[in-house]
Chain A
Amino acid sequence: MGLTLGELRSSFKEAGYICDEQTVLTVFLALDLKKPLLIEGAPGVGKTEMGKVLAQVLGSELIRLQCYEGLDETKALYEWNYQRQLLRIQMNRNLEEAEIREEDLFSDRYLLERPLLKAIRSEEQAVLLIDEVDKCDPEFEAFLFEVLSDFQVSIPELGTIPARNIPVVVLTSNNERELSDGLKRRCLYLYLDFPAVEKEVEIIKAKVPGVADRLAWEIARVVARLRRQPDLRKKPSIAETLDWTRALQALDRSRLDGKVVADTLNLLLKTRADQQLFAGQIGPEGIEQAINDKKCGGEACGCS
């Protein structure tokens, strides 16, 4: 990797990905040490976005493996196209051609390449994004060890295939379950938290062009106030903040008040319980307080 720490920092900014110094440094170390990067955090803090931005910054192809419960190697690594193999055998029999060798049937022609194999065999360095790895089974996690530590995969019929170009591997996790120590040991670890008010204002201005400065600040303060609510089941994510900003822009709002927040609350709070909690414990008055809290967003502010 040719990027210096400063260049990486600038590249992230140009790509519109606003993050702190710890994040930039951790990504830099992962790239330089050629170690996978495990990113944990609440939904919507920018974990998947990091993978996409890295691909953009490095000018690499993004290969994405979306994990889910029950995912196995046939969907993640490879599968033999046995329908095609059977057809080949059938055709060979019908045309009375020379007998097919086993090696012919188990060749590239009949191999269905899935994301992991694609990343390993890529002609150029790719960014492999293994998204929501905490959703897959522990067995699949163990299966990933070979890829993450040695950047190679083993296919019984073809042998061990090392990576042509070691991919940049980014794993994301919502921490729905504890990942194994084996997986963590093979990665550098980064925790992405919700941004502080100042950072969130930067993100809003970067992602929603033309937003009024005052509106951006008020939005960030309101969202920070909601995130501080202790028994909120689902805290508003950055993506939801941006959606809300766009919605308010579409409504031609240049500033917030308690009423407009209550009216557009469904863009931020996505469960009935949370909406009722807002009505019962925060309400428009609480929002007015948050909007006018000028101290919120300064260095002394603990909002994050």
Chain B
Amino acid sequence: MRLQLTDKPGISYLEENLTTFAGLLRSEGLPVGTAEMIDVLKALEIIDLSSREQFKATLQATMVKSRRDQAVFSKVFDHFFLTPEDQFLREEELDRREHELEQRLAEANQDLQFKGEALQLSFEELQQYSALSAEQRNQLKDFMQKTENGKNVEPRFKPVLETIVKSHLRYCRDRDSEKRNSAANFGAADGAGSGGGAEDYLRELDIAAIATSDLPTAEQLLQKLSRKLAIKILRRRRSGPRSGPLDFRRSIRDNMQYGGLIFKIRRRPKRRSRQQILLLCDVSASMKSYSTFVIQFMYGLHEAVRDLTCFSFSDNLENLDADIKGKVALNRLLDRVIRRSKNWGGGTDIGRALGRLMGDYPDRVNMKTTLIVVSDTKTVALEQSIKELKKIKERVRRVIWLNPLPLDRWADYRSVALVSELVEMWPCSTIAQLEEVLAGRL
């Protein structure tokens, strides 16, 4: 089949489109490399290019290397390779949206005026305003009205008002962005599709944003992932039959029966030290939903990994070991923790919790211990907390800090900077991040 060439010498439209498509897949996290592109081009030579199904199936077979990525691939493919009819509808839709946007921006300019003059807001800020709910917009308009009608309010107050409005819009944007997931650009996964699609959606969604109706699916996903990780950890502990160095003494002794000829080789089994894991979960108000998920994840791990101790902390430390080892059903475990914990939903004192850990459980804090802390680092007595963290860091093998704050907000908090200077800190606001961090570090 002869392909139509672009202006660039030797490059056909198909090749150009495939390259752009591959770039889109990469931006969605799929590892599509040159090798895959070569496979695609070779494969397309032997299929019926006029068949959309065969074309899609061929691209999927060559470019997608996991089940999880298949759903993403399918969405990107359907949005990129449009039929002529879909292309026409898409263009109409884009025109309509552009027109709507222009209208909304004009309305925003109209709404956000002070003493007859429009506020100096950027295009993005006007967009953010128009994206607010009607209630939020009315609240802002109300505020501006009252400000304008206040006593002794002069036109030179305009910059102050602009700053207030901008801060408010930024606050709304930050709060909303925590609830958005990476699939938003191609339409949110409907969750009502196959179990695989809903799970993939939940993996990438901020834990705090998971709806109550999705919690059972999220819990199953956690169980699946923690079981997988437990198998991985157990496997690492077992040594293979031929993995160790040669054991001369046993080899010679075993081969005495053959007159000293070495017929059988004996190997020394590799010694793998059992890793002790201490988990500290911040259960303060902002951390509640994240801690719930981490405890569930570690609870699933606990069935296979025996040397794991879980603690909850806020202003004080509580040992959850007895509840978890008593195989209390997870729902009841968490209810009990909430009821019994004097500190659930309260403020956080990381330093005090660490101090108590070292003081009350000195046998658990040793060089075989990996300490995992789940916290957004927001604490009272920050300097004292850093001191305690330094002390405990010297006593354990490793400290892994899981921070559910979005990565782009880490720079806003001094506590994050201080803690991350001392220990390795990883984002864990989604199930996918939690899995990735723990699978790579345990």
Which of chain A's residues have a CB closer than 8 A to the CB of B289?
none
Residues of B within 8 A of A82 (CB): 262-263
In this complex, what residue of B is CB-closest to A26?
Answer: B61
- Would A176 and B61 be within 8 Å (CB), given that A33-B43, A137-B240 are in contact? no
Cβ–Cβ contact B31 & A177, under 8 A = no
Q: A185-B35, A189-B61, A304-B194 are in contact. Are A69 and B238 (CB under 8 A)?
A: yes
Does the CB pair A231–B220 fall under 8 Å? yes
Q: Is the CB of A230 within 8 A of B61?
A: no
Measured between beta carbons, the chain A residues less than 8 angstroms from B231 are 176-177
User: Known contacts being A21-B53, A230-B195, A304-B194, is A72 close to B33, with CB within 8 Å?
Assistant: no
Within 8 A of B (CB), among A108-140: 137
Contact segment of B63-71, B111-119, B245-253: B63-71
B54 within 8 A of A: yes
A74 contact set on B, CB distance < 8 A: 242
Q: B62 to chain A: which residues have CB within 8 Å?
A: 29, 188
B27 within 8 A of A: no
Interface string of B288-311 (1 = CB under 8 A from A): 000000000000000000000000
A147-B31 Cα distance, complex, nearest whole Å: 22
A190: B residues at CB distance < 8 A: 61
* Nearest A-chain residue to B43, judged by Cβ: A29
Q: B54-84: which have CB < 8 Å to A?
A: 54, 57-58, 60-62, 64-67, 70
Contacts of B67 in A (CB 8 A): 40, 175, 191
Residues from 17 to 48 in A contacting B, C-beta threshold 8 Å: 21-22, 25-26, 29-30, 32-33, 35, 38, 40
CA distance A153 to B426 in the complex (A): 40
Name the contact of B263 in the complex, choosing from A26, A83, A178, A185 (C-beta under 8 A).
A83
Determine if B235 and A69 form an interchain contact, defined as CB atoms under 8 angstroms apart: yes
Distance to closest chain B CB from A251 (angstroms): 32
Is A181 positioned at the interface, with any CB of B under 8 Å from its CB? yes
Total interface residues on B, CB under 8 Å, equals 41
Once A176-B231, A304-B194 are accepted as A-B contacts, the answer to whether A70 and B241 lie under 8 Å apart by CB is yes
- The chain A residue with its CB closest to the CB of B265 is A82
For A, the interface residue count at a CB cutoff of 8 angstroms equals 39
A281 at the interface (CB under 8 A from B): no
Q: In chain B between 340 and 358, which residues have their CB closer than 8 angstroms to a CB of chain A?
A: none
Chain B 30-51: CB-based contact to A (< 8 A → 1; otherwise 0) = 0101011001001100110000
- In the complex, A70 Cα to B238 Cα: how many Å? 9
A302 to B193 Cα, complex, angstroms: 8
Q: How far is the CB of A146 from chain B (nearest CB, A)?
A: 15
CB pair A177 B220 closer than 8 Å: no
Contact A230 B240 (CB under 8 A): no
Is B39 in contact with A230, judged by CB distance below 8 angstroms? no
Tell me how far the C-beta of B47 lies from the nearest C-beta in chain A, rounded to whole angstroms: 7
Select A184's contact among B42, B60, B65, beta carbons within 8 Å.
Answer: B65
| Chain A min CB distance to B253 (Å) | 18
Q: Given A21-B57, A188-B62, decide whether A29 and B46 contact each other with a Cβ distance below 8 A.
A: yes
Q: From B229, which residue of chain A is reached at the shortest CB distance?
A: A177
B216 at interface (Cβ–Cβ under 8 A)? yes
Closest B residue by C-beta to A33: B42
Chain B residues, CB < 8 A from A70: 239-243
**A177 near B232: Cβ-Cβ < 8 Å:** yes
CB contacts (< 8 Å) of A302 on chain B: these are 193-194
Near B by CB (< 8 A), chain A positions 65-88 give: 69-72, 74, 82-83, 86
Q: Contact between B65 and A189 (Cβ–Cβ < 8 Å)?
A: yes
Those of B216-264 within 8 Å (CB) of chain A: 216-217, 220, 228, 231-232, 235, 238-243, 261-263
A90 in contact (CB, < 8 A): yes
Name the A residues within 8 Å of B216 (CB-CB).
230
Kindly identify which residue among B54, B194, B217, B238 contacts A25, using a CB–CB cutoff of 8 Å.
B54
| Contact (Cβ within 8 A) B58 A35 | no
Pick the residue among A35, A72, A86, A185 that contacts B65 (CB under 8 A).
Answer: A185
**Which residues does B use to contact A, with CB under 8 Å?**
31, 33, 35-36, 39, 42-43, 46-47, 53-54, 57-58, 60-62, 64-67, 70, 193-195, 216-217, 220, 228, 231-232, 235, 238-243, 261-263, 439
The 7 closest A-B pairs by CB, nearest first: A70-B240, A184-B65, A26-B61, A25-B57, A189-B65, A191-B67, A22-B57
Q: Report 8 cross-chain contacts, Cβ distance below 8 Å, ordered by A residue.
A: A21-B57, A29-B46, A33-B43, A69-B238, A71-B240, A175-B67, A185-B35, A231-B220
